[in-house]
Amino acid sequence: MDKTDQQLVLEYLNGNNDSFEKILNRYLKPVFNFIYRFSGGITETEDLTQETFFKAWKYLKKFDPEENFKTWLFTIARNTAIDFLRKKKNFSFSDFNDDEGDNLITATLFDPDSSPIEDFKAVEKSEVIERLLNKLSPKYREVLLLHYNHDLTFDEIGKILKKPLDTVKSQHRRALIALKKMIDAPK
């Protein structure tokens, strides 16, 4: 049985260094994917992911075990990405492809047990979804990514974004309405 995040944190704080490695392995891909959608570049994403986990390690003693660790970690990831984007100044939230035009996230999410036809359909759908998400405002896109890609509740998203629960729900609803309008719009 896997240990909870809180158990791993407490074990690490009590001297078991392997526990932090387990946390790192559990959250490396989700945090990387989340940051990638903000920064748009693979190099920046690697640096920001490393910085996120360094900050988590550095401030782990301040983590309240009564709180949700995933929410705490994604708050650090979000703040790290936003700090980077503020410094960068000339960023585009809609630029999620690398220099060659490939989207590394969709390219690495294939199921090895699926058929080539299923893979093609999945890529086609993900490309359409990616294009639609890129057209949304960052505040709407952020809520959708946290909710659907990282399985966070609206309450957890509110804590990460430092917004009231009703605001998060409203942004989620507006984002879905905007997506529906884009889908229903004539081509």
Q: pTM score, two decimals?
A: 0.60
pLDDT (tens digit, 9 = 90+) per residue, 86-100?
Answer: 777 544 433 445 555
CA distance 143 to 152: 9
Using pLDDT thresholds of 50, 70 and 90, give the confidence band for residue 108: very low
Judge whether 84 and 37 are in contact, CB under 8 Å. Answer: no
| Domains of the chain as residue ranges with CATH | 1-91 (1.10.1740.10)
Quote the mean pLDDT of the chain.
Answer: 79
What residues contact residue 48 under an 8 Å CB cut-off, 6+ apart? 35, 38, 39, 77, 80, 81, 84
Three-state SS at 175? helix
